[in-house]
Amino acid sequence: MDEADLAQKREQDMIKAALLGREKSLQSSNGKCIWCKEEAIVVDTAFCSAECGDDYNKYQREMKQRLGKQYQ
Ligand SMILES: [Zn+2]
């Protein structure tokens, strides 16, 4: 293993850690989708569907933008 391989491995580990951290913060406490709160979640996610995940992320972004403006 040379320097380039090591650098690549470090990068992969960092990406993996980032993804795991994000998933950990998004977990359903009751097995139901955290966005629509009606449907059962897909295993290892917090949402029942990709659409709910997209809507949730969109909502989070908008809230962040709104809050950001308030503090400016
Ligand atoms: Zn849902």
List per-residue pLDDT tens for the chain, 72 residues long.
788 898 888 877 766 665 554 545 688 999 999 999 999 999 888 999 999 999 999 999 999 888 887 665
| pLDDT for 56 | 93
Cα of 16 to ligand 1 centre, how many Å? Answer: 25
- Predicted confidence at residue 49, as pLDDT, reads 94
Amino acid 50: pLDDT: 93
Range of the domain at 51: 3-70
Q: Which residues contact 39 (CB under 8 A, 6 or more apart)?
A: 32, 33, 48, 49, 52
| 48 Cα to the center of ligand 1, angstroms | 4
Total domains in the chain come to 1
What's the CA-to-centroid distance between 69 and ligand 1, angstroms? 29
pLDDT of residue 1: 74
C-alpha–C-alpha distance, residues 11 and 13, integer Å: 5
Check residue 42 and report its DSSP letter: P
What is the predicted pLDDT for the residue at 24? 53
